[in-house]
């Protein structure tokens, strides 16, 4: 392994308590280049208000630390928050990227929302990554793992010694991510997790959510070794046992409260719907589009 590969990026996590999401700035200490991963655009479903508090905090951190944004990266189209990728692209000019299979998610939700004019070719992003693609964040080597199961398009970014896995693994005391969204699969999620666990044990693992079990403080960093030793969804489990556990748990989980709000924004790369003739923007809700979901 060469010296550049072993460089340890600086990782700053930003926890959003409204959505239990963690956003990241991943910096190269040698060049001051950075990538922003899974940024949140604020939204209040009760009032319909949008905001940029989270994204502006990231921009302030970038400025205070004299960083240059090289990439704005999403791991997948999120079901529980709006992506701030487009907003940050407008502010920084940095290219946006997501996994190439986002086109499958676009086609799926284009039908659910009945949006015939929605381009479903991934053109809302500057770059669509394939499995195994390599790129740079300054002098840091980075590569992409295709990590479906939670969604059809989920990917993991491995930057230096850090893996950004979002909705595959949670912290070891919280298990794994659900796999019951449209296009999800517990069997596929198991295979994706095995690919992540094949990384070196010392690889730092950064998750995209933390739901603070037992009321503890938010946490978002573990290692591959920690996950192998401590995650109850994985330790001693066969593939069949994991699938049974995951599917049984998913049957008890209500859908995220923002799923029908968020997907119509996130399949557009974080762009809000265009204003109508009265100057206002509107979200569109399909009724009874997610049959079988548990009710709260």
pLDDT value of residue 5: 46
| 2 confidence band (pLDDT: 50, 70, 90) | very low
Assess contact for 97 and 71: CB atoms under 8 A.
yes
Angle between helices 53-64 and 85-92 (to 10 degrees): 40
39-69 residue pLDDT tens: 999 999 999 999 999 999 999 999 999 999 9
pLDDT value of residue 158: 98
* pLDDT exceeds 80 at position 176: yes
Q: Are strands 140-146 and 134-137 parallel, antiparallel or unpaired?
A: antiparallel
Tell whether 275 is covered by a domain. Answer: no
Share of the chain above pLDDT 70, in %: 98
Mean model confidence pLDDT for the chain: 96
pLDDT value of residue 296: 81
Tell whether 290 is covered by a domain. Answer: no
Please give the order of strands across the beta sheet that includes 33-37: 10-16, 21-27, 33-37, 68-73, 96-99, 127-129
Question: How far is 30 from 104, CA to CA, in rounded Å?
Answer: 37
DSSP string, 50-87: EE-HHHHHHHHHHHHTT-EEEEEE-SS--SSSEE-HHH
Tell whether 225 is covered by a domain. Answer: yes
pLDDT value of residue 6: 57
pTM of the model: 0.95
Tell whether 214 is covered by a domain. Answer: yes
pLDDT value of residue 74: 98
Tell whether 293 is covered by a domain. Answer: no
Tell whether 264 is covered by a domain. Answer: no
Q: Indicate which CATH number applies to the domain containing 70.
A: 3.60.15.10
Tell whether 291 is covered by a domain. Answer: no
Question: How far is 231 from 229, CA to CA, in rounded Å?
Answer: 6
The domain total for the chain is 1
Question: How far is 292 from 31, CA to CA, in rounded Å?
Answer: 50
Backbone phi, then psi, for 61, in 5-degree steps?
Answer: -60, -45
**Which structural domain range is residue 20 located in?**
9-254
Sort residue 48 into left (φ over 0), alpha (ψ -120 to 50) or beta. left
Share of the chain above pLDDT 90, in %: 95
Tell whether 22 is covered by a domain. Answer: yes
pLDDT value of residue 283: 95
Tokens 């508090």 locate to 53
Alpha helices (H) in 157-268, listed in sequence order: 186-197, 224-230, 239-250, 259-266
Rounded to a whole number, what is the largest CA-CA distance in the chain? 59
């Amino acid at each position: 392994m060469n010296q550049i590969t072993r460089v340890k990026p600086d990782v700053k996590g930003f926890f959003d308590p409204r959505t239990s999401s963690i956003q990241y700035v991943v910096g190269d200490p040698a060049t001051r280049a950075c990538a922003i991963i899974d940024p949140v655009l604020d939204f209040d479903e009760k009032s319909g208000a949008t905001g940029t508090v989270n994204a502006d905090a990231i921009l302030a951190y970038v400025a205070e630390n004299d960083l240059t944004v090289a990439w704005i990266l999403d791991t997948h189209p999120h079901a529980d928050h709006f992506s701030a990728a487009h907003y940050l692209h407008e502010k920084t000019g940095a290219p946006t990227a997501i996994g190439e299979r986002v086109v499958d998610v676009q086609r799926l939700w284009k039908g659910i929302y009945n949006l015939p004019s929605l381009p479903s070719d991934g053109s809302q992003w500057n770059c669509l990554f394939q499995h195994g693609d390599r790129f740079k964040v300054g002098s840091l080597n980075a590569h992409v793992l295709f990590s479906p199961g939670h969604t059809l398009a989920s990917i993991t970014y491995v930057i230096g010694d850090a893996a950004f896995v979002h909705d595959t693994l949670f912290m070891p005391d919280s298990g794994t991510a659900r796999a019951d969204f449209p296009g999800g699969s517990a069997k596929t999620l198991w295979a994706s997790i095995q690919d992540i666990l094949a990384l070196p044990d010392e690889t730092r693992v950064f998750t995209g959510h933390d739901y603070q079990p037992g009321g503890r403080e938010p946490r978002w960093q573990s290692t591959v070794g920690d996950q192998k030793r401590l995650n109850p969804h994985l330790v001693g489990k066969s593939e069949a046992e994991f699938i049974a556990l995951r599917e049984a748990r998913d049957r008890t989980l209500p859908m995220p409260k923002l799923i029908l709000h968020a997907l119509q924004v996130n399949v557009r790369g974080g762009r809000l719907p265009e204003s109508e003739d009265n100057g206002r923007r509107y979200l569109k809700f399909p009724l009874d589009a997610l049959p079988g979901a548990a009710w709260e």
